[in-house]
Structure 1
Amino acid sequence: MNLFEHFRKEEHPFIEQALDWLAFVEERHETKLTDFLDPRQVYILQTLLARFDEVKLTPFGGFNGAERCRVLLHQHYYEPKEDESGLAAFQLTASSQASFQKLTHRDILGALMAAGLKRDKFGDIHIHPDQAQIVVAEEIADYLRLQFTQANRVSVLLESIEFSQLIPVVNEWKTMNITVSSSRVDVVAGEVFRLSRSKILSPIRGGSLRVNWMVVDSPSFIVQEGDIVSLRGFGRFKIQKNEGNTRKGNTRLEIGALL
Protein backbone atom coordinates (compact mmCIF):
# COMPACT_ATOMS: atom_id res chain seq x y z
CA MET A 1 0.00 0.00 0.00
CA ASN A 2 1.24 3.48 -0.89
CA LEU A 3 2.41 5.35 2.22
CA PHE A 4 0.67 8.54 1.08
CA GLU A 5 -2.73 6.83 1.01
CA HIS A 6 -2.78 7.06 4.81
CA PHE A 7 -2.67 10.86 4.74
CA ARG A 8 -4.51 13.73 3.14
CA LYS A 9 -3.18 15.23 -0.06
CA GLU A 10 -2.44 18.53 1.67
CA GLU A 11 0.00 16.71 3.99
CA HIS A 12 2.08 15.06 1.25
CA PRO A 13 4.70 17.85 0.94
CA PHE A 14 5.44 17.67 4.68
CA ILE A 15 5.65 13.86 4.52
CA GLU A 16 8.21 14.07 1.72
CA GLN A 17 10.27 16.54 3.75
CA ALA A 18 10.00 14.41 6.89
CA LEU A 19 11.15 11.29 5.01
CA ASP A 20 14.21 13.22 3.84
CA TRP A 21 15.00 14.23 7.45
CA LEU A 22 14.66 10.68 8.72
CA ALA A 23 16.79 9.23 5.92
CA PHE A 24 19.48 11.84 6.58
CA VAL A 25 19.65 10.98 10.29
CA GLU A 26 19.68 7.22 9.67
CA GLU A 27 22.30 7.30 6.92
CA ARG A 28 24.60 10.01 8.30
CA HIS A 29 24.32 9.12 12.00
CA GLU A 30 23.77 12.82 12.72
CA THR A 31 20.99 14.74 14.47
CA LYS A 32 18.36 16.96 12.87
CA LEU A 33 16.53 19.71 14.78
CA THR A 34 13.31 20.82 13.10
CA ASP A 35 11.57 24.16 13.35
CA PHE A 36 8.39 24.27 15.44
CA LEU A 37 5.88 21.65 14.39
CA ASP A 38 2.21 21.45 15.26
CA PRO A 39 0.79 18.31 16.92
CA ARG A 40 -0.40 16.86 13.61
CA GLN A 41 3.08 17.16 12.10
CA VAL A 42 4.64 15.51 15.17
CA TYR A 43 2.10 12.69 14.83
CA ILE A 44 3.06 12.22 11.17
CA LEU A 45 6.75 12.07 12.12
CA GLN A 46 5.99 9.49 14.80
CA THR A 47 4.07 7.40 12.26
CA LEU A 48 6.90 7.56 9.72
CA LEU A 49 9.41 6.41 12.35
CA ALA A 50 8.06 2.87 11.93
CA ARG A 51 10.08 2.76 8.69
CA PHE A 52 13.33 3.84 10.37
CA ASP A 53 14.37 1.41 13.09
CA GLU A 54 17.51 3.32 14.03
CA VAL A 55 15.88 6.74 14.50
CA LYS A 56 14.03 8.24 17.46
CA LEU A 57 12.54 11.65 18.08
CA THR A 58 12.58 13.92 21.11
CA PRO A 59 10.18 16.89 21.20
CA PHE A 60 11.07 20.17 22.92
CA GLY A 61 8.38 22.75 23.64
CA GLY A 62 9.67 24.41 26.79
CA PHE A 63 7.41 22.46 29.17
CA ASN A 64 5.51 19.18 29.35
CA GLY A 65 2.35 19.32 27.29
CA ALA A 66 3.46 22.08 24.93
CA GLU A 67 1.35 22.16 21.79
CA ARG A 68 3.98 23.36 19.32
CA CYS A 69 7.41 21.73 19.60
CA ARG A 70 10.77 21.55 17.91
CA VAL A 71 11.75 17.94 17.33
CA LEU A 72 15.24 16.49 17.54
CA LEU A 73 15.67 13.45 15.31
CA HIS A 74 18.53 11.25 16.44
CA GLN A 75 19.94 7.74 16.54
CA HIS A 76 18.07 5.39 18.87
CA TYR A 77 21.05 5.05 21.24
CA TYR A 78 21.61 8.81 21.59
CA GLU A 79 20.41 10.63 24.71
CA PRO A 80 19.57 14.28 23.86
CA LYS A 81 20.53 17.04 26.28
CA GLU A 82 18.31 19.95 27.25
CA ASP A 83 20.70 22.47 25.69
CA GLU A 84 20.00 20.85 22.30
CA SER A 85 16.39 22.02 22.36
CA GLY A 86 17.15 25.19 20.41
CA LEU A 87 14.61 27.13 22.45
CA ALA A 88 14.42 30.45 24.28
CA ALA A 89 11.63 31.72 26.53
CA PHE A 90 10.39 35.26 27.05
CA GLN A 91 8.00 37.05 29.36
CA LEU A 92 6.02 39.92 27.84
CA THR A 93 4.62 42.78 29.90
CA ALA A 94 3.16 46.22 29.17
CA SER A 95 3.59 49.58 30.88
CA SER A 96 0.40 49.05 32.88
CA GLN A 97 -2.15 46.38 33.69
CA ALA A 98 -4.80 48.27 31.73
CA SER A 99 -2.55 48.37 28.66
CA PHE A 100 -1.78 44.66 28.88
CA GLN A 101 -5.45 43.72 29.17
CA LYS A 102 -6.06 45.25 25.75
CA LEU A 103 -3.89 42.56 24.22
CA THR A 104 -5.16 39.23 22.95
CA HIS A 105 -3.46 36.10 21.68
CA ARG A 106 -4.18 37.31 18.16
CA ASP A 107 -2.49 40.68 18.85
CA ILE A 108 0.72 39.03 20.02
CA LEU A 109 0.70 36.49 17.20
CA GLY A 110 0.14 39.29 14.70
CA ALA A 111 2.97 41.38 16.16
CA LEU A 112 5.38 38.45 15.90
CA MET A 113 4.45 37.94 12.27
CA ALA A 114 4.70 41.68 11.59
CA ALA A 115 8.24 41.59 13.01
CA GLY A 116 9.14 39.39 10.05
CA LEU A 117 9.03 36.01 11.79
CA LYS A 118 7.64 32.87 10.20
CA ARG A 119 5.17 30.85 12.24
CA ASP A 120 7.57 27.92 12.47
CA LYS A 121 10.05 30.03 14.47
CA PHE A 122 7.94 30.36 17.61
CA GLY A 123 5.92 27.96 19.69
CA ASP A 124 3.20 28.35 22.29
CA ILE A 125 1.94 31.77 23.38
CA HIS A 126 0.34 31.79 26.81
CA ILE A 127 -1.72 34.73 28.02
CA HIS A 128 -1.95 35.28 31.78
CA PRO A 129 -3.73 38.07 33.74
CA ASP A 130 -0.69 40.36 33.92
CA GLN A 131 1.78 38.93 31.39
CA ALA A 132 2.26 36.70 28.39
CA GLN A 133 4.90 34.04 27.87
CA ILE A 134 6.38 33.01 24.54
CA VAL A 135 8.65 30.16 23.49
CA VAL A 136 10.75 30.87 20.39
CA ALA A 137 13.58 29.39 18.36
CA GLU A 138 16.87 30.24 20.03
CA GLU A 139 18.41 31.52 16.80
CA ILE A 140 15.90 34.38 16.51
CA ALA A 141 15.96 35.42 20.19
CA ASP A 142 18.33 38.38 19.74
CA TYR A 143 16.41 39.62 16.70
CA LEU A 144 13.14 39.39 18.64
CA ARG A 145 14.51 41.49 21.52
CA LEU A 146 15.26 44.30 19.07
CA GLN A 147 12.18 44.11 16.86
CA PHE A 148 9.32 43.13 19.15
CA THR A 149 8.52 46.35 21.04
CA GLN A 150 4.84 46.82 20.27
CA ALA A 151 1.65 44.81 19.86
CA ASN A 152 -1.56 46.41 18.64
CA ARG A 153 -0.11 49.88 19.41
CA VAL A 154 0.68 48.85 23.01
CA SER A 155 4.34 49.21 23.99
CA VAL A 156 5.65 45.94 25.39
CA LEU A 157 8.78 44.76 27.17
CA LEU A 158 10.39 41.38 26.57
CA GLU A 159 12.42 39.72 29.31
CA SER A 160 14.27 36.42 29.01
CA ILE A 161 13.10 33.79 31.49
CA GLU A 162 14.04 30.24 32.44
CA PHE A 163 11.89 27.38 31.20
CA SER A 164 11.05 26.58 34.83
CA GLN A 165 9.22 29.94 34.97
CA LEU A 166 6.81 29.03 32.19
CA ILE A 167 3.22 28.72 33.38
CA PRO A 168 1.15 26.47 31.09
CA VAL A 169 -2.45 27.40 30.32
CA VAL A 170 -4.78 24.50 31.07
CA ASN A 171 -7.53 24.24 28.46
CA GLU A 172 -10.87 22.79 29.50
CA TRP A 173 -12.70 21.17 26.61
CA LYS A 174 -16.49 21.31 26.87
CA THR A 175 -18.16 18.15 25.59
CA MET A 176 -21.18 18.59 23.35
CA ASN A 177 -23.16 16.31 21.04
CA ILE A 178 -24.40 17.46 17.67
CA THR A 179 -26.31 15.94 14.77
CA VAL A 180 -25.41 17.15 11.29
CA SER A 181 -26.59 16.38 7.77
CA SER A 182 -23.03 16.05 6.50
CA SER A 183 -19.41 15.86 7.70
CA ARG A 184 -18.50 18.83 5.50
CA VAL A 185 -16.46 21.32 7.51
CA ASP A 186 -18.88 24.18 6.83
CA VAL A 187 -21.79 22.14 8.18
CA VAL A 188 -19.99 20.89 11.29
CA ALA A 189 -18.27 24.19 12.12
CA GLY A 190 -21.50 26.11 11.51
CA GLU A 191 -23.31 23.89 14.00
CA VAL A 192 -20.59 24.10 16.67
CA PHE A 193 -20.10 27.86 16.38
CA ARG A 194 -23.82 28.47 15.79
CA LEU A 195 -23.28 30.29 12.53
CA SER A 196 -25.63 30.17 9.57
CA ARG A 197 -24.37 28.78 6.29
CA SER A 198 -24.06 32.27 4.81
CA LYS A 199 -21.97 33.48 7.78
CA ILE A 200 -19.63 30.47 7.92
CA LEU A 201 -18.73 30.46 4.21
CA SER A 202 -17.02 33.86 4.14
CA PRO A 203 -14.37 33.17 6.84
CA ILE A 204 -13.69 29.70 5.42
CA ARG A 205 -13.08 31.05 1.93
CA GLY A 206 -11.04 33.87 3.44
CA GLY A 207 -8.56 31.45 5.00
CA SER A 208 -9.68 31.83 8.64
CA LEU A 209 -10.41 28.14 9.22
CA ARG A 210 -7.85 25.45 9.95
CA VAL A 211 -8.15 21.69 10.26
CA ASN A 212 -5.26 20.08 12.13
CA TRP A 213 -3.42 23.42 11.91
CA MET A 214 -3.69 23.53 8.11
CA VAL A 215 -5.65 26.30 6.37
CA VAL A 216 -8.71 24.81 4.69
CA ASP A 217 -10.59 27.17 2.39
CA SER A 218 -12.94 24.60 0.85
CA PRO A 219 -16.37 24.44 2.58
CA SER A 220 -16.82 20.87 1.27
CA PHE A 221 -13.73 19.55 3.07
CA ILE A 222 -14.71 16.39 4.99
CA VAL A 223 -13.72 16.27 8.66
CA GLN A 224 -13.01 13.03 10.45
CA GLU A 225 -12.82 11.64 13.97
CA GLY A 226 -9.74 13.08 15.70
CA ASP A 227 -9.61 16.28 13.64
CA ILE A 228 -9.09 19.60 15.40
CA VAL A 229 -10.86 22.54 13.76
CA SER A 230 -10.27 26.21 14.58
CA LEU A 231 -11.97 29.35 13.28
CA ARG A 232 -10.26 32.66 13.88
CA GLY A 233 -12.18 34.71 16.41
CA PHE A 234 -14.51 31.86 17.43
CA GLY A 235 -12.36 29.18 19.06
CA ARG A 236 -11.60 25.58 18.27
CA PHE A 237 -13.11 22.15 18.60
CA LYS A 238 -12.08 18.55 18.13
CA ILE A 239 -14.17 15.68 16.83
CA GLN A 240 -13.86 13.26 19.70
CA LYS A 241 -16.09 10.54 18.34
CA ASN A 242 -18.22 9.72 15.32
CA GLU A 243 -21.24 8.03 16.87
CA GLY A 244 -22.71 6.84 13.59
CA ASN A 245 -25.78 7.72 11.58
CA THR A 246 -29.37 8.29 12.59
CA ARG A 247 -32.29 6.59 10.87
CA LYS A 248 -32.64 9.65 8.66
CA GLY A 249 -29.03 9.41 7.55
CA ASN A 250 -27.68 12.28 9.64
CA THR A 251 -24.38 11.95 11.50
CA ARG A 252 -24.01 12.10 15.27
CA LEU A 253 -20.74 13.58 16.54
CA GLU A 254 -19.27 14.03 20.01
CA ILE A 255 -17.40 17.33 20.09
CA GLY A 256 -14.90 18.79 22.55
CA ALA A 257 -15.01 22.59 22.27
CA LEU A 258 -12.93 25.56 23.38
CA LEU A 259 -15.21 28.53 22.66
Structure 2
Amino acid sequence: MSKCDNPDEILHRFLDLANQADRKGIVLFSNFLNMYEINLLHQNENLFYTGFSLYGGYQEAERQMVAFQPDALYYNWEYPISCVQVEPLNHRFSEDLSHRDILGALMHLGIDRSLIGDILIKDKSAYIFCVEKMADFIAKELYKIKHTQVMTQRVKPVDLHIEMQYRTEEGFIASNRLDAFVAQACKLSRAQAAQFILGENVFINGALVTNHNQGLAEGDVVSLRGHGKLRFEAFLNTTKKGRLHIRYAWYV
Protein backbone atom coordinates (compact mmCIF):
# COMPACT_ATOMS: atom_id res chain seq x y z
CA MET A 1 0.00 0.00 0.00
CA SER A 2 1.33 3.43 -0.85
CA LYS A 3 1.06 6.42 1.42
CA CYS A 4 -2.37 7.98 1.29
CA ASP A 5 -4.01 10.43 3.66
CA ASN A 6 -7.58 10.07 2.37
CA PRO A 7 -9.41 7.67 4.73
CA ASP A 8 -11.78 6.45 2.01
CA GLU A 9 -8.84 5.56 -0.24
CA ILE A 10 -6.98 3.85 2.60
CA LEU A 11 -10.06 1.81 3.50
CA HIS A 12 -10.61 0.91 -0.17
CA ARG A 13 -7.08 -0.48 -0.34
CA PHE A 14 -7.64 -2.52 2.82
CA LEU A 15 -10.88 -3.95 1.45
CA ASP A 16 -9.26 -4.76 -1.88
CA LEU A 17 -6.45 -6.69 -0.18
CA ALA A 18 -8.89 -8.55 2.07
CA ASN A 19 -11.15 -9.46 -0.87
CA GLN A 20 -8.18 -10.71 -2.92
CA ALA A 21 -6.95 -12.81 0.00
CA ASP A 22 -10.41 -14.33 0.41
CA ARG A 23 -10.84 -14.98 -3.32
CA LYS A 24 -7.37 -16.49 -3.85
CA GLY A 25 -7.19 -18.34 -0.55
CA ILE A 26 -3.78 -16.89 0.32
CA VAL A 27 -2.38 -14.46 2.88
CA LEU A 28 -1.82 -10.96 1.52
CA PHE A 29 0.14 -8.19 3.22
CA SER A 30 0.12 -4.42 3.26
CA ASN A 31 3.26 -2.35 3.50
CA PHE A 32 4.02 -0.79 6.89
CA LEU A 33 1.12 1.20 8.32
CA ASN A 34 1.34 4.28 10.48
CA MET A 35 -0.79 4.81 13.59
CA TYR A 36 -3.54 6.62 11.70
CA GLU A 37 -3.89 3.73 9.21
CA ILE A 38 -3.84 1.11 11.98
CA ASN A 39 -6.55 2.99 13.84
CA LEU A 40 -8.68 3.17 10.67
CA LEU A 41 -8.23 -0.57 10.17
CA HIS A 42 -9.49 -1.36 13.67
CA GLN A 43 -12.42 1.05 13.35
CA ASN A 44 -13.68 -0.83 10.25
CA GLU A 45 -12.75 -4.42 11.04
CA ASN A 46 -16.38 -5.55 10.70
CA LEU A 47 -16.21 -4.78 6.95
CA PHE A 48 -13.57 -7.39 6.10
CA TYR A 49 -14.35 -10.87 4.81
CA THR A 50 -11.14 -12.27 6.27
CA GLY A 51 -9.40 -12.18 9.60
CA PHE A 52 -6.30 -10.06 9.99
CA SER A 53 -3.33 -9.62 12.26
CA LEU A 54 -0.64 -6.97 12.69
CA TYR A 55 3.10 -7.23 13.24
CA GLY A 56 6.10 -4.95 12.84
CA GLY A 57 9.06 -7.28 13.25
CA TYR A 58 9.21 -7.20 17.06
CA GLN A 59 6.89 -6.82 20.02
CA GLU A 60 5.72 -3.23 20.61
CA ALA A 61 6.58 -2.08 17.08
CA GLU A 62 4.78 1.14 16.20
CA ARG A 63 4.72 0.76 12.41
CA GLN A 64 3.16 -2.58 11.47
CA MET A 65 2.06 -4.66 8.50
CA VAL A 66 -1.43 -6.09 8.31
CA ALA A 67 -1.82 -9.67 7.08
CA PHE A 68 -5.26 -10.57 5.71
CA GLN A 69 -5.84 -14.27 6.32
CA PRO A 70 -8.61 -16.29 4.65
CA ASP A 71 -10.23 -19.21 6.44
CA ALA A 72 -8.91 -22.78 6.11
CA LEU A 73 -5.33 -21.93 5.15
CA TYR A 74 -3.36 -24.96 3.99
CA TYR A 75 0.18 -23.58 4.38
CA ASN A 76 2.41 -21.87 6.92
CA TRP A 77 3.35 -18.25 6.35
CA GLU A 78 5.55 -15.49 7.72
CA TYR A 79 5.47 -11.73 7.52
CA PRO A 80 7.76 -10.48 4.72
CA ILE A 81 9.77 -8.34 7.14
CA SER A 82 13.55 -8.06 7.18
CA CYS A 83 15.97 -6.04 9.26
CA VAL A 84 19.18 -4.28 8.28
CA GLN A 85 21.76 -3.49 10.95
CA VAL A 86 23.74 -0.29 10.37
CA GLU A 87 26.86 0.76 12.25
CA PRO A 88 29.73 3.20 11.63
CA LEU A 89 32.86 1.99 9.89
CA ASN A 90 34.86 3.85 12.51
CA HIS A 91 33.14 4.09 15.88
CA ARG A 92 35.76 6.44 17.28
CA PHE A 93 35.14 9.23 14.78
CA SER A 94 31.47 8.64 14.03
CA GLU A 95 28.62 11.08 14.71
CA ASP A 96 25.70 10.29 16.96
CA LEU A 97 23.09 9.47 14.35
CA SER A 98 19.43 10.07 15.14
CA HIS A 99 16.27 8.40 13.87
CA ARG A 100 15.73 11.44 11.63
CA ASP A 101 19.24 11.19 10.18
CA ILE A 102 18.76 7.55 9.24
CA LEU A 103 15.26 8.04 7.86
CA GLY A 104 16.51 11.01 5.83
CA ALA A 105 19.26 8.89 4.29
CA LEU A 106 16.73 6.23 3.33
CA MET A 107 14.40 8.79 1.76
CA HIS A 108 17.40 10.19 -0.15
CA LEU A 109 17.76 6.74 -1.72
CA GLY A 110 14.24 7.13 -3.09
CA ILE A 111 12.63 4.56 -0.79
CA ASP A 112 8.94 5.08 -0.08
CA ARG A 113 8.19 5.58 3.63
CA SER A 114 5.64 2.78 3.63
CA LEU A 115 8.41 0.27 2.85
CA ILE A 116 10.20 1.14 6.09
CA GLY A 117 9.04 0.08 9.53
CA ASP A 118 10.52 1.14 12.84
CA ILE A 119 14.10 2.32 13.15
CA LEU A 120 15.68 1.40 16.47
CA ILE A 121 18.95 2.87 17.72
CA LYS A 122 21.10 1.18 20.32
CA ASP A 123 24.48 2.64 21.20
CA LYS A 124 26.17 3.25 17.83
CA SER A 125 24.10 0.71 15.91
CA ALA A 126 20.75 1.12 14.19
CA TYR A 127 18.24 -1.51 13.16
CA ILE A 128 16.05 -0.73 10.17
CA PHE A 129 12.93 -2.88 9.76
CA CYS A 130 11.76 -3.00 6.15
CA VAL A 131 9.75 -5.03 3.69
CA GLU A 132 11.76 -8.06 2.66
CA LYS A 133 12.25 -6.99 -0.94
CA MET A 134 14.05 -3.79 0.12
CA ALA A 135 16.60 -5.31 2.49
CA ASP A 136 19.28 -6.13 -0.09
CA PHE A 137 18.92 -2.72 -1.71
CA ILE A 138 19.34 -0.92 1.61
CA ALA A 139 22.28 -3.11 2.62
CA LYS A 140 23.99 -2.36 -0.69
CA GLU A 141 23.19 1.33 -1.20
CA LEU A 142 23.26 2.75 2.32
CA TYR A 143 26.93 3.48 2.94
CA LYS A 144 26.86 7.03 4.30
CA ILE A 145 24.62 8.89 6.75
CA LYS A 146 25.38 12.58 7.06
CA HIS A 147 29.19 12.61 7.24
CA THR A 148 29.53 9.13 8.72
CA GLN A 149 30.56 6.14 6.63
CA VAL A 150 28.52 3.08 7.66
CA MET A 151 28.50 -0.62 7.06
CA THR A 152 25.38 -2.76 6.84
CA GLN A 153 24.32 -6.35 7.17
CA ARG A 154 21.02 -8.19 7.04
CA VAL A 155 19.87 -9.73 10.29
CA LYS A 156 16.83 -11.87 11.03
CA PRO A 157 14.24 -10.14 13.22
CA VAL A 158 13.70 -13.40 15.12
CA ASP A 159 17.39 -13.42 16.10
CA LEU A 160 17.23 -9.95 17.65
CA HIS A 161 16.74 -9.60 21.37
CA ILE A 162 15.17 -6.18 21.57
CA GLU A 163 14.71 -4.71 24.99
CA MET A 164 12.89 -1.42 24.93
CA GLN A 165 14.64 1.40 26.79
CA TYR A 166 12.79 4.10 28.67
CA ARG A 167 13.40 7.52 30.21
CA THR A 168 11.25 7.88 33.30
CA GLU A 169 9.79 11.25 34.31
CA GLU A 170 7.43 12.45 37.00
CA GLY A 171 5.08 15.40 37.17
CA PHE A 172 1.87 16.83 38.59
CA ILE A 173 -1.50 17.28 36.86
CA ALA A 174 -4.66 18.94 38.09
CA SER A 175 -6.88 15.98 37.18
CA ASN A 176 -6.87 12.74 35.21
CA ARG A 177 -7.62 14.31 31.86
CA LEU A 178 -5.77 13.79 28.60
CA ASP A 179 -5.20 17.50 27.99
CA ALA A 180 -3.63 17.89 31.45
CA PHE A 181 -1.35 14.93 30.82
CA VAL A 182 -0.32 16.06 27.32
CA ALA A 183 0.42 19.55 28.68
CA GLN A 184 2.68 18.02 31.34
CA ALA A 185 4.45 15.54 29.06
CA CYS A 186 4.99 17.88 26.10
CA LYS A 187 5.54 21.06 28.12
CA LEU A 188 2.53 22.82 26.60
CA SER A 189 -0.19 25.03 28.01
CA ARG A 190 -3.53 23.35 28.68
CA ALA A 191 -5.08 25.21 25.71
CA GLN A 192 -2.23 24.16 23.41
CA ALA A 193 -2.58 20.57 24.58
CA ALA A 194 -6.33 20.59 23.82
CA GLN A 195 -5.68 21.87 20.29
CA PHE A 196 -2.96 19.27 19.81
CA ILE A 197 -5.42 16.52 20.76
CA LEU A 198 -8.19 17.91 18.52
CA GLY A 199 -5.66 17.97 15.66
CA GLU A 200 -5.63 14.12 15.68
CA ASN A 201 -2.11 13.87 17.07
CA VAL A 202 -2.69 11.55 20.04
CA PHE A 203 -3.10 7.77 20.03
CA ILE A 204 -3.74 5.66 23.11
CA ASN A 205 -2.95 1.94 22.73
CA GLY A 206 -3.01 2.44 18.96
CA ALA A 207 -6.42 4.15 18.83
CA LEU A 208 -6.85 7.79 17.81
CA VAL A 209 -8.26 9.92 20.64
CA THR A 210 -9.66 13.42 20.14
CA ASN A 211 -11.57 13.74 23.42
CA HIS A 212 -9.38 15.93 25.64
CA ASN A 213 -11.47 14.94 28.69
CA GLN A 214 -10.52 11.28 28.44
CA GLY A 215 -8.63 9.80 31.37
CA LEU A 216 -5.61 7.53 31.39
CA ALA A 217 -5.09 4.16 33.01
CA GLU A 218 -1.84 2.71 34.29
CA GLY A 219 -0.13 0.81 31.48
CA ASP A 220 -1.61 2.89 28.63
CA VAL A 221 0.80 3.48 25.74
CA VAL A 222 0.43 7.02 24.40
CA SER A 223 1.85 8.15 21.05
CA LEU A 224 2.21 11.89 20.57
CA ARG A 225 2.85 12.86 16.98
CA GLY A 226 6.08 14.81 16.70
CA HIS A 227 6.99 14.19 20.35
CA GLY A 228 7.41 10.42 20.67
CA LYS A 229 5.81 7.54 22.52
CA LEU A 230 5.46 6.91 26.23
CA ARG A 231 3.88 4.57 28.72
CA PHE A 232 1.73 5.95 31.53
CA GLU A 233 3.06 4.12 34.57
CA ALA A 234 1.39 5.20 37.78
CA PHE A 235 -0.58 7.59 39.92
CA LEU A 236 1.86 7.99 42.79
CA ASN A 237 -0.13 10.11 45.23
CA THR A 238 -2.33 13.17 45.62
CA THR A 239 -1.02 16.45 46.99
CA LYS A 240 -2.81 18.43 49.70
CA LYS A 241 -4.14 20.71 46.95
CA GLY A 242 -5.63 17.76 45.06
CA ARG A 243 -3.04 17.55 42.28
CA LEU A 244 -2.07 14.10 41.02
CA HIS A 245 1.58 13.08 41.22
CA ILE A 246 2.22 10.84 38.20
CA ARG A 247 5.03 8.83 36.63
CA TYR A 248 5.45 8.06 32.93
CA ALA A 249 8.21 6.61 30.77
CA TRP A 250 9.29 7.78 27.31
CA TYR A 251 10.45 5.19 24.80
CA VAL A 252 14.05 6.03 23.78
Q: TM-score range by the shorter chain?
A: 0.5 to 0.7
Determine whether 1:258 maps to 2:250: yes
Asked whether 1:129 is paired with 2:123, we answer yes
Residues 88-167 of structure 1 mapped to structure 2, 5 A cutoff? 88-100=82-94, 102-167=96-161
Deviations 1:85-124 (A, max 9, x none): 2222211110222344511222112211222112210112
**Structure 1 partner of 2:57:** 62
Q: Map 1:165-176 onto structure 2 (within 5 A).
A: 165-172=159-166, 174=168
Deviations 1:50-70 (A, max 9, x none): 344x51224343234433222
How many angstroms apart in 2 are the aligned matches of 1:104 and 1:172? 16
CA distance in 2, matches of 1:80, 1:63: 23
| Contact 2:84 2:138 (C-alpha < 8 Å) held by counterparts | no
2:15 is the counterpart of 1:22: no
- % identical equivalent positions: 20
**Aligned-pair Cα RMSD in Å:** 4.3
TM-score by length of 1: 0.66
In the alignment, which of 25, 31, 44 is matched to residue 27 of structure 2? Answer: 31
Count of paired positions: 230
8 Å Cα contact 1:125-1:132 kept in structure 2:
yes
Alignment-mate amino acid for residue 46 of structure 2: A
User: Any idea what SS the aligned residue of 2:44 has?
Assistant: helix
Query: Is the partner of 2:83 in helix, strand or coil?
Result: strand
Q: Say if 1:48 and 1:133 are closer, same or farther in 2 by CA, change over 3 A.
A: same
Q: How many Å separate the matches in 1 of 2:36 and 2:59?
A: 17
After TM superposition, the structure 1 stretch with the greater mean CA deviation from structure 2, 61-70 or 147-156, is: 61-70
Change (3 A) 1:240 1:75: farther
Please tell me whether the aligned partners of residues 27 and 67 of structure 2 are also in contact (alpha carbons under 8 angstroms). Answer: yes
Q: Indicate which of 73, 79, 92 corresponds to 1:78.
A: 73
TM (normalized to structure 2)?
Answer: 0.68
